[in-house]
Amino acid sequence: MSDTKTQGKTLNLNEKHYSDGSELIPAEVQAHIRYDEAQLADTASGVGYTIDDEGLINNFAVEPDMYPSEYPSPRQQRQYIVLGVSAILFVAMLMLVAFSVS
């Protein structure tokens, strides 16, 4: 019989492996282990989730940093006006061609 030790547990590598229950960990213990690891990893740094006391993950959206927009300069305002007028002329030409063809 070949037994191997890993992290304090004995693994039986035979074909017929019967569990003695030592590899089973209760759900509460797993939850506490995950919770402790999450606390060490500092989940509040904006990764998008938190872990509650029971070890359940609560996903939430990560909100981007907000910054105020700048009012457009007079040159940009003129460009917006030119683009708006050219868009209106383009749509009017398309409608004129559509009506003349039909």
* Residue 79 sits in the same domain as residue 51: no
* Residue 29 sits in the same domain as residue 58: yes
> What residues does 59 pair with on adjacent strands?
49
Give the domain extent around 88.
70-102
Q: Which two tokens stand for residue 73?
A: 């300069």
Q: What is the value of pTM for the model shown?
A: 0.37
Question: Residue 100 has what pLDDT?
Answer: 95
Question: How many structural domains are present in the chain?
Answer: 2
Q: Is 11 within the bounds of a domain?
A: no
Concatenating the DSSP letter of every residue in 73-85 gives: PHHHHHHHHHHHH
pLDDT tens digits for range 79-96: 999 999 999 999 999 999
Long-range contacts of 15-18 (CB under 8 A, 24+ apart): none
For the chain, the average pLDDT equals 76
Q: How far apart are CA 33 and CA 9, in angstroms?
A: 18
* Residue 53 sits in the same domain as residue 79: no
Instruction: Judge whether 60 and 50 are in contact, CB under 8 Å.
Output: yes
